[in-house]
Chain A
Amino acid sequence: MPSTIEILQSLVNGVGVGLIYGLVGIGFCVIYNASGIVNFAQGVFVMLGGMFCQVLMSQLGLPIILAIAITVPLVALAGMAMELAIVRPMLHRGATLFAIILATLAAQIMIERITLLGFGDRPRTFPDFTPGGPLRVGEVAVGYQLFWILGCGALLVVALWLFFNRTRTGRALRACSQNREAAQLLGIPVARMMLVAFALSAGLGAIAGVLVTPTQYTAYNVGTPFGVSGFIAAIIGGFGRAGGALAGGLLLGVLQALAIVALGAGFKNVAALSVLLVVLMLFPNGLFAGFSLGARVHSK
């Protein structure tokens, strides 16, 4: 029987990683809203974020701030490349939904393997943003990085809100998500908005990756678990809603942390995936109506 301390400790850890899932989930939503596509390669951005940052720090000796400042735009560029090279031509040719999903999955594997070739399969990590810690509250240890995650998470949510409500581009993106044809008629450059969505989504993933790496590690293959967890977060939160995805991520993170206490670390992914299946089956059309996920992406 796990002790209260263990449970509290796992809850604290769960909140941290859950926020990360939430950020990845928001990344899913941003792309889905703009294009009607679920990008199965979403997790790869998290991996790239941690990986680039670590390499920049360890091999070029850059300070963390600089490393992050280079990493995030770099990963955003990777997102844009994915949109331009894969998604756009497929949409243009009226590809089926499953074909596009498959292509994004293939892109994920391709990026993973290239990373493997380039950087090897050694897990990598870098220290917390601020040295010291953990903070002790009674017997529960709270790492300083958790505060960074919470703080940056909150900042990002505010920034996203401002972006979607206060900027022209953000508002145009929202218009696309409500009705792409109408947005097109209003003169919104829908194609460019998709590029923005992929960049934004990839950037979010990269930030998530940078934030989470000090608490665990990054390796070429961490993308899939983060991607799947982010997707689960998005689904729990009612696909398409940023706030919901964040809440869903927190819930999932906590559930997963408890599962680790109860079942052991080995089965944490099985637990998360089972949550996914249960949520999908109880809410086969999503938790909120209005998002027809079964629809074809593009009809000629």
Chain B
Amino acid sequence: MTSRVTTFTEPAALRWQSVSPAAGAAMLAVLGLLSSDYVTTVLGFAFIYAIFCTGLNFFMGYTGQASFGQSAFAAIGGYGSAILCTDLGWDPVLALFATMALSGVAAVIVGYPTLRLRGHYLAMATFALGLIVYEITIEWTSLTQGYMGYAGIPPLGIVGFELPTVKHQLVALVVLALFGVAVANRLRRSRFGRALAAIAGSEPAALALGIDVARYKLIAFVIAAIYASAAGSLFAHFVGFISPEVFGVTMVVQSFTMLYLGGIGTVWGPMIGAVIVSVLPEALRGLKEMQDIAYSAILILVLIFVPRGLAGLSSLFARFRRNTEPL
């Protein structure tokens, strides 16, 4: 079958594996704090994408479905937060939750008919959803200011206390991303997570065991949408400016690159992928113009040669360790 489902109950001996990525994320954060604002910004993007991909992983990794239009929900979050905070003076946190709820509702409405589709049809339908929202963000200028984009969005704050610098915000983003991963991890190791894994494994078998496949798919889709929305809102606050291009097809391809590179279906893969894919082009400064080409090329190579991603490689490593332990 597919290679995207991985086993969801790690033996206790391997628990340390889930501590080390968290420690790694914390170290990156510290590194970000000690470096220039530019590095901090790059890392901030990485953790925003980590949130987006962790959500997408619910739907694609755990449940084995595909959504090529998750950017739509990021756009709802981003534009929602921008409008609520800039025009209506809402508190960013309040706007964050409100847009997450809105995205969840939108996901239920579009997901209900769409998720009955399979294979190419599901892929194309979700792709179309993303494109529709993209077109709307361009054309509905009175709401979104079209190509010009939406500027002057206030930075993230916690009930009245603004986070004044990018460094403060990076800390907030790392905490939120880790929280997002923790939630994903809890959900995965449960009856709910098992039901998703069952759907990824074999829908007929899942149905025969009494799993309401349509319902669980929808829940996974909604969770993915809520994560995407949060990522969109955080992006808006972090940069202070959004435009339609931010939530375009490139976002889809970028997030897929992260997901597949990091290891689809694993808990930490999305974050690992997000950090690597965000930082890599910065390391190769000269590539600036060719960033998208590089993303696409990396994605294609990963899809061909390491479809299980880096997390897949790390499990090889783990097995190797276990085998050598008795010596």
Contact residues of A between 104 and 131, Cβ < 8 Å to B: 105-107, 109-110, 113-114, 117
Neighbouring B residues of A192 by C-beta, 8 Å = none
B292 within 8 A of A: yes
Minimum CB–CB distance for B199 against chain A, Å: 13
Interface stretch (choices A54-62, A174-182, A273-281): A273-281
A2 within 8 A of B: no
**A117–B121 Cα gap in the complex (Å)?**
32
Neighbouring B residues of A93 by C-beta, 8 Å = 304, 307
**A280–B116 Cα gap in the complex (Å)?**
10
Which range contains the number of A residues in contact with the other chain? 35 or more
Given A99-B307, A106-B296, check contact A269 B135 (CB 8 Å): yes
Given A107-B296, A114-B293, check contact A280 B124 (CB 8 Å): yes
**A106–B120 Cα gap in the complex (Å)?**
16
Minimum CB–CB distance for B113 against chain A, Å: 5
**A281–B118 Cα gap in the complex (Å)?**
11
A77 within 8 A of B: no
A102 within 8 A of B: yes
Neighbouring B residues of A274 by C-beta, 8 Å = 132
Neighbouring B residues of A231 by C-beta, 8 Å = 124
A86 within 8 A of B: yes
B176 within 8 A of A: no
The A contact surface, by secondary structure, is helix
Contact residues of A between 213 and 239, Cβ < 8 Å to B: 224, 228, 231, 235
B68 and A281 contacting across the interface, CB-CB below 8 Å? no
**A284–B4 Cα gap in the complex (Å)?**
25
Given A113-B293, A228-B128, A281-B114, check contact A102 B299 (CB 8 Å): yes
B132 and A110 contacting across the interface, CB-CB below 8 Å? no
Minimum CB–CB distance for B60 against chain A, Å: 7
Neighbouring A residues of B257 by C-beta, 8 Å = 106
Neighbouring A residues of B3 by C-beta, 8 Å = 96
Neighbouring B residues of A90 by C-beta, 8 Å = 303-304
| A265-292 near B? 1/0 per residue, CB < 8 Å | 0110110011011001100101000000
B66 and A107 contacting across the interface, CB-CB below 8 Å? no
Name A98's contact: one of B123, B136, B139, B299 (CB within 8 Å): B123
Contact residues of B between 232 and 277, Cβ < 8 Å to A: 249-250, 252-253, 256-257, 260
| B85-122 near A? 1/0 per residue, CB < 8 Å | 00000000000000000000000000001101111110
Name B303's contact: one of A103, A267, A270 (CB within 8 Å): A103
B303 and A99 contacting across the interface, CB-CB below 8 Å? yes
A188 within 8 A of B: no
**A272–B68 Cα gap in the complex (Å)?**
17
A74 within 8 A of B: no
A284 and B249 contacting across the interface, CB-CB below 8 Å? no
Given A113-B290, A224-B249, A273-B128, check contact A280 B135 (CB 8 Å): no
Contact residues of A between 163 and 220, Cβ < 8 Å to B: none
Given A99-B307, A295-B119, check contact A273 B135 (CB 8 Å): yes
B297 and A110 contacting across the interface, CB-CB below 8 Å? yes
B290 and A280 contacting across the interface, CB-CB below 8 Å? no
A280 and B300 contacting across the interface, CB-CB below 8 Å? no
Neighbouring A residues of B136 by C-beta, 8 Å = 270
Q: Tally chain B residues at the interface, Cβ within 8 Å.
A: 45
B131 within 8 A of A: yes
A101 within 8 A of B: yes
A97 within 8 A of B: yes
Minimum CB–CB distance for A21 against chain B, Å: 15
| A138-154 near B? 1/0 per residue, CB < 8 Å | 00000000000000000
Question: B3: nearest residue on chain A (CB-CB)?
Answer: A96
**A293–B120 Cα gap in the complex (Å)?**
6
Given A110-B293, A228-B128, check contact A293 B303 (CB 8 Å): no
B198 within 8 A of A: no
Given A95-B304, A96-B4, A106-B253, check contact A280 B139 (CB 8 Å): no
A284 and B119 contacting across the interface, CB-CB below 8 Å? no
B325 within 8 A of A: no
B300 and A95 contacting across the interface, CB-CB below 8 Å? no
Given A269-B131, A277-B114, A281-B113, check contact A38 B124 (CB 8 Å): yes
Neighbouring A residues of B296 by C-beta, 8 Å = 106-107, 109-110, 113
Neighbouring B residues of A102 by C-beta, 8 Å = 68, 253, 256, 260, 299, 303
B195 within 8 A of A: no
Neighbouring B residues of A281 by C-beta, 8 Å = 113-114, 116-117, 125
Q: Which among B113, B136, B296 has the highest number of chain A CB atoms within 10 Å?
A: B296
Binding site for B on A (CB under 8 A): 38, 40, 86, 89-90, 93, 95-103, 105-107, 109-110, 113-114, 117, 224, 228, 231, 235, 266-267, 269-270, 273-274, 276-277, 280-281, 284, 286, 293-296
Can you list 21 A-B contacts with CB-CB less than 8 angstroms, sorted by A residue number? A90-B303, A95-B304, A100-B303, A102-B253, A102-B256, A103-B300, A105-B68, A106-B303, A107-B296, A117-B290, A266-B138, A270-B136, A274-B132, A277-B114, A277-B125, A280-B125, A281-B125, A284-B117, A293-B121, A294-B118, A294-B121
Going nearest first, the 3 A-B pairs with the smallest beta carbon separation are A294-B118, A110-B296, A294-B119
Binding site for A on B (CB under 8 A): 2-4, 60, 66, 68, 113-114, 116-121, 123-125, 127-129, 131-132, 135-136, 138-139, 249-250, 252-253, 256-257, 260, 289-290, 292-293, 295-297, 299-300, 303-304, 307
Q: A101-B123, A274-B132 are in contact. List 19 more A-B contacts (CB 8 A).
A: A38-B123, A40-B123, A96-B4, A105-B252, A106-B295, A109-B253, A110-B297, A228-B128, A235-B121, A270-B139, A273-B131, A273-B135, A280-B121, A280-B124, A280-B125, A293-B118, A293-B121, A294-B119, A296-B2
